[in-house]
Structure 1
Amino acid sequence: MQPPKQEPVDVSYDYRKDSTGEAPHADASSPSLKAAHRALWNKELPTKKLLSLNASGPDYLNATIDGLEFALASDAIATSHPGRAEEVRNDVGPDVIEDFVRHGGTIGGRMVWPLRRIHKPTVNQARGTRVTISDRIDLTLEALKLWYTDSNAETPLTDVFNDYADWFAQFGVGKEGWEGFIDFFLLQDILDGSGSVRMFANTTPTLIPTDAVEFAKYLEAQLSFVRARNQRIFDWCIDNDVPVVGGKAS
């Protein structure tokens, strides 16, 4: 019997289209998004171990690495901060917001994080609820970089990363672990030429810009990253014989 045909990863696909439920949430209910995560992250880790993903259990995705098991959840990493920045969202207008959501919600704007019911908050929850991170992936990754490379550093997410240290250790330790994590998840485009995390906006006076012009620049900075990551994902799929559509070469 032939194995089921693998649907191509579409780097231009809006995962809201096949989300289900009374309040559709792509990270929870889009089968296309789950399939894309499996196609992209079911591969060899920087430590040469194999990350094997399946969706047969009660969790969103189940990862097995050398006998260790992890539950993973999908997370949007591009955000216009609905519910938190409504005034400035209204100022930039619904067309700008819809364009952002449409393009920011593609696979380049998605990530998976570990979760355990005994460890709360999860990475997803802490990113979204701690005001010193405010759901910004640039600040999240800056905190993760410090966690990997400076054992004395205290960040708003240090306690959460410590709870899930066994997951992050799968990518290596120290500087090599940080670089391994970035490379594995194809996040290189959030780094500048010196290896520092690019900030999408200033962190003062507020983490979320309140001026409409600055907020629009902040949204565009996120989209620039998402577009670059989508192309990187597309190229990686081509190089690794993973079916893919939607990139510049498609």
Structure 2
Amino acid sequence: MAIIDIDFDFRQDSKCGDPDTDSQKLYEAHKFLWSKELPNGKIFTLEIKGDSYGRFLIRNNLCMNLSSDRMCPHFDGKYSNKFDGWLSDLEKEELKHKVRTIGGHIVFPAHKKNGFTINQARGVSRIICDRFDLTLECIRRFYRDEESPLSKTLTNYKDFFDLFIDFKGYVDFFHLQDFIDQQEQVEFSLPFDNFNRPPLPQTIDEYKQYKEHTIDLMKKRNKRILENLYQIN
């Protein structure tokens, strides 16, 4: 895979409806993108591992297996259908499509370690509700030895985060530069008050704001990924 189609919706390559579980194309993209030199100078070597149930993992040479994770939720059909009617069908599908392109996916350690995985912890947390901007803020604080709602879980996977040395190393490695500002502060999709306000959109306008900001981030990250591939080739 020399070039990745940054507009491809990996839902089209999933039999179970969850590309993070069974999309061969998604895992091939992850392998291609993240098999490279780490900020610590070591080479990250990734291989795709499948099981008899059609689920994929990523085996590597430096830490436990990794798995794909959709970074940004769309909220549709969740939370007792709270958001029904807040976006048009066209708006909902636009958001669902963008978060399922390669720019909407990242990898985390796949297996439980003294509790939830990172993927699970950010999904079940009522303070995070699976939002990647809030997850990224927790990761930023982890590198600064500051507390966050995900502190315990992230600490369990310190060996993974140590591969990237610091927050900038993590951001640069995964092409997340557009998720932060020049002071390395996270650019939030909704108003942020130190994890005190509810993480879900509270009004239709907030939902639309979240949608537009998320789609913009996906477009920018896809562009960075593509530009990086052309530099490599």
TM-score by length of 1: 0.85
Q: Which has the larger radius of gyration?
A: 1
Give a deviation string over 1:57-99, Cα, whole Å, max 9, x none. Answer: 655111112xxx4210111112112312723242212221111
Q: 1:20 to 1:115 in 2, by over 3 A?
A: same
1:45 equivalenced with 2:38 (yes/no): yes
Q: 1:56 to 1:79 in 2, by over 3 A?
A: closer
Counterpart CA distance in 2 for 1:64 and 1:213 is 45
Question: How far off is 1:208 after superposition?
Answer: 0.9
Report which structure shows greater RCO (CA 8 Å, sep ≥6): 1
Q: What is aligned with 1:170?
A: 163
Aligned residues: 225
Counterpart CA distance in 2 for 1:238 and 1:76 is 24
> Which residue type is aligned with residue 60 of structure 1?
L
**Unaligned stretches of 5+ residues in structure 1:** 1-5, 242-250
Percent of aligned positions with the same letter in both sequences?
A: 30
1:215 equivalenced with 2:210 (yes/no): no
1:92 equivalenced with 2:81 (yes/no): no
Q: What is aligned with 2:73?
A: 79
Where do residues 17-36 of structure 1 align in structure 2 (5 Å cutoff)?
17-21=12-16, 24-36=17-29
Give a deviation string over 1:16-39, Cα, whole Å, max 9, x none. Answer: 111113xx1111111111111011
> Which residue type is aligned with residue 40 of structure 2?
T
Where do residues 51-130 of structure 1 align in structure 2 (5 Å cutoff)?
51-56=44-49, 58=51, 60-65=57-62, 69-82=63-76, 83-84=78-79, 86-130=81-125
Counterpart CA distance in 2 for 1:131 and 1:158 is 15
RMSD: 1.6
**Unaligned stretches of 5+ residues in structure 2:** none
Counterpart CA distance in 2 for 1:117 and 1:192 is 32
Runs of 4+ aligned residues of structure 1 deviating over 4 Å after TM superposition are: none
Counterpart CA distance in 1 for 2:23 and 2:164 is 27
Question: How far off is 1:205 after superposition?
Answer: 4.3
Q: What is aligned with 2:173?
A: 184
Counterpart CA distance in 1 for 2:112 and 2:122 is 17
Q: What is aligned with 1:227?
A: 219
